[in-house]
Amino acid sequence: MGCSPSKKVVRAKNATKRLRAVVRIQTWYRRYRANLEARRRCTWSIFQSLEYAGEQDQLKLHNFFNNMLDSLVSDGNSPAPLIRAFNVNKRASIYDTQSMRDSGGEMLQNLLEGMEVEPSYKGPHLTFPLTMNQLHKIVQSFRRKLTLHAKYTIQLLLEVRRILKTQGNIRYASTSLSKQVTVCGDIHGKLSDLYTIFHKNGLPSVNNPYIFNGDFVDRGQFSTEVVIVLFSCFVMNPNEVYLNRGNHEDHVMNLRYGFVKELQMKYKQHSRKVIHMFKDVFSWLPLATVVDDQIIVCHGGISDTTNLKTLAKIDRHRYMSTLQPPGECEDISTMDTQDLIEWKQVLDLLWSDPKPIDGCQPNTFRGGGSYFGPDITTSFLQQNKFKLLIRSHECKPEGFEYTHNGQVLTVFSASNYYEMGSNLGAFVRIQGAELECRVVQYMSTHSPTHRKVSFTQRINTVEKSAIQDLKEKILASKHKLLSEFKKCDLDNSGSISSSDWCCALETVLEIELPWRTLKSKIAKCDNNGDVQYETTFDELEVRHRYSGNGPSITETLYRHRENLETIFRLIDTDHSGFISMQEFEDALMLLIKQVDIRINERDIRDIAYSLDINKDGSIDFNEFLEAFRIVDNFGKDHTKRVSRDHSIDSAHVPSIASELDEKE
């Protein structure tokens, strides 16, 4: 029997209600996901803008060092040690150039002098040539958080240097035997990511070659371990492991971004020799790798003047730091034209970034290299008969990104780069006769519960971290911002319009962000929608436990602490972590001269005396730099202590160890 008309009407109404409910749920869910995506993009924009602001500081540092050299050389009153300290490419080493021509004999004996292996040493004992079993022991010792002894580290670096000297500036890889090659991007001292790559893709071998595309060190806690594992793989498989130089295989960058400090902590009294050896070995790393004459792999990118024939002839060892002219050049204005051309070629390869618009412009954010457009890429690839440019140098949310109509592939292998959950890492397998690129993504974990965290919870965590970073950046310019805010507050009401608030932040911080979107997370508004600008600082302030010179001076030093750290580490030529009071004062005076900040000499002297706790005339500058704190009115410490490498993912190590055992 058929349904009555009334029942049909009821069913139709119910179906309509269900349909409307489904539409509402879908609409709500889409809005919810769109809101999450907007928050993710905003958070990513904060992290990237802050990183690029740091790269802008690197541009200033680039000019800072070169101006410093000019001023020191021209100033007859400047002490000679300062001139030598700031000229990284020319600075006298613990061994002269002639002695470095031989990797053995007397030089080896001098380098290893005083490096006896103590009976208490629990790490691996190395002999050369290295074996798979020894690599296994290195991996296991790093799992137990042991440091490879300085003697074995020096021996490994000498062996790496010996091999690198036989290789050209541009290496050529072939897949005729292996039928594939794996390209890895920035690792930045994240040992867990390196283990993840080997766990997923296998160890380097004749049938499994690798190209590691620079930026092995800095930022992460385990840069030493990462580079030792990579160098061990390299000396065992010199024809299957390709090591390209990145912009962080650079002594000035290592002074600023943590690798030198890490070596000082891990090698103590032997750190000077180890640091100098790393500085020298990094300068011998090749600049690019070409796969089957069809794909070029380099760290940064290219420019409209990139010429592979010119690059092939450059003496790359002249560039201990690519941020300064080559060794014998002290004044850029008097540099030989050929030297300038060669220097730019190296800078472009290590520092450049692709942009969506045609043309080639100076890379204003990075401090070196160029922005190159699709037309530059097409021209370069056609000229050299390549079909693809693979580069790294930029963190990507998915770990990789195709640009320039698929002609440029960016691969970034450090997952969780900004914060846990902020981005995936990736590596690329080039395989088959057509050299097809297969991207493998991953996220290295450090907690058994991390995988259970929802996407929303991950966004909340990453967003909170980004806002905290941004607040620290804002707090470092508190007095400048207050001055700018008050210019707009003509009636001294304590409130200004949202437009004025956004404009002031962008002007002072020189960072373009969606400030209107971020307003509610940074400051409070009154009933009229105007911003109560003093709440921007949320009753926080920067303090330094050894300085009683007032908030403005402390804030100024905090704002320029990275530049100060770089200067201190350059002056600290024996890498002891201590400098004299006079050197401390000289460093501050140099910073004031170059960065145009206002601190009088008396205040500088007072700061120096307050830091000389033992009154022995020397200052522990590490303690000075780490003494900055962000506190609230109740004295509670809000200083963010987040490492970019959280811990070693030991869950993957047994799998690596098993493979090592099988190969052995």
- With H, G, I as helix, E, B as strand and everything else as coil, classify residue 362: strand
Phi, psi of 347 (to 5 degrees): -60, -45
3-state SS, residue 301: coil
Asked whether 243 and 285 are in contact (CB, 8 A), the reply is yes
The amino acid present at 252, given as its one-letter code, is V
What's the CA gap between 67 and 60, in Å, rounded?
Answer: 10
Q: What is the DSSP string of 557-587?
A: HHHTHHHHHHHHHHH-TT--SEEEHHHHHHH
3-state secondary structure of 160: helix
Please report, in angstroms and rounded to a whole number, the separation of the first and last CA atoms in the chain.
79
Token representation of residue 361? 């412009």
Tokens of 194: 């390196």
- Which one from 248, 270, 404, 575 is the annotated catalytic residue? 248
What residues are paired with 296 via a beta bridge?
290, 389
H-type helices in 369-477, by residue range?
374-384, 455-475
Main-chain dihedrals φ then ψ at residue 428, nearest 5 degrees? -120, 130
CB atoms within 10 A of CB 22: 10
Are 123 and 148 spatial neighbours (Cβ–Cβ below 8 Å)? yes
Contact partners, residue 393, CB within 8 Å, separation at least 6: 185, 186, 214, 215, 246, 247, 299, 300, 301, 351, 352, 353, 410
Q: Report the C-alpha gap between 385 and 292 in whole angstroms.
A: 11
Could you say which DSSP state residue 148 is in?
A: P
Q: Which residue blocks in 451-524 are alpha helix, DSSP H?
A: 455-475, 478-488, 498-509, 515-522
Q: Which residue has the tokens 């867990």?
A: 192
Q: H or E segment at 438?
A: strand 436-442
| Residue pair 437/428 in contact by the 8 Å Cβ criterion | yes
Single-letter amino acid code for the residue at 587: A
Q: What span, in angstroms and rounded, lies between the C-alpha atoms of 196 and 179?
A: 22
Name residue, tokens 């971004």.
257
Q: Is the dihedral of CA 275, 278, 282, 283 positive or negative?
A: positive
Residue 136 among the catalytic residues: no
CA distances from 415 to 399, 441, 480 (A): 7, 9, 36
Q: In this structure, what DSSP letter does residue 415 have?
A: T
- Contact by Cβ (8 Å): 446, 646: yes
- Cα-Cα-Cα-Cα torsion 516, 517, 523, 524, nearest 10 degrees, comes to 90
CB atoms within 10 A of CB 397: 15
Q: Helix, strand, or coil here: 414?
A: coil
If we measure between CA atoms, which residue out of 177, 164, 233, 182 comes closest to residue 207?
Answer: 177
Q: Which residues are catalytic?
A: 248
